[in-house]
Structure formats: C-alpha cells, structure tokens
Amino acid sequence: MWIRCKCGNIIHDNTDNLSYKGHIISDKEYFKLLDLLDKMIESPAKNRENLIMTYRANLSGYIKIKLIFQCSKCGRVLIEDENNRYCSFIPDEHEKIDLLDFNGNDTIDYKYKCKK
C-alpha cells in the first residue's frame, strides 16, 4: 500500500517497523483495550497460547486502531479516517519530521507487583 502526500511524496506502507508510521487509538478504545487485557489476564483458560491468539484476533476486530503516518518530506501528519482514507495536517511552528520514530522500553518487567 502507498499514500500520496499533498506535497507529492509517496509514503510506502509495505513492511514492519516503519519510522514514519504509527497506530493511534482513541481514549474510548483505549479503555476497551485495557478491559480486553484484564479479561485475558483473568481468564481461567489454561492454554496461554490460545489466549494470546484470541487477544490478537480481538485486538483487530474489537478495538479500532487507526494508522497514522508522517511525511518525511514535508512533515504533514496523515491520519486514517472511518472510511480508510487519510486526513492530513500541516505542521505549524516546527520542522520535526520524525515524530513517529521512537521506541519505548525493550523489556517488560513481569515481576511488577502492586503495592499492598
């Protein structure tokens, strides 16, 4: 897939880990995501692998996650709408063109415990 930015640049979406692509989730969907996570964690199902596959299947079917791109040429941000088209926004007072190029922590602390 590719998208043509209004500046003429072609934005490609043909592989994983793109530095100019992201996924956005509304606040309403975010809480649905947390609820889904809670249900999976609290599930009595013993087959954890099936549980993970159920989670992934529901993630795309139950939670709406939109795509977002930033044009690396002009800095416009393009956000997917409800019809899988893109609305673009022009940067205001900056020239940052790498807003989606970041990583969080690479490890998950499974030993995290709630305070008693």
Query: Which positions lie near Zn ion, rule CB under 5 A?
Result: 5, 7, 9, 71, 73-74, 76
**71 burial via Cβ count (<10 Å: 0-12, 13-18, 19+):** buried
Compare residues 12 and 73 and give the one whose CB is closer to Zn ion: 73
CA dihedral 55, 50, 38, 60 (to 10 degrees): 10
Q: Least Å distance between CB 86 and Zn ion?
A: 11
Compare residues 27 and 93 and give the one whose CB is closer to Zn ion: 93
Compare residues 8 and 44 and give the one whose CB is closer to Zn ion: 8
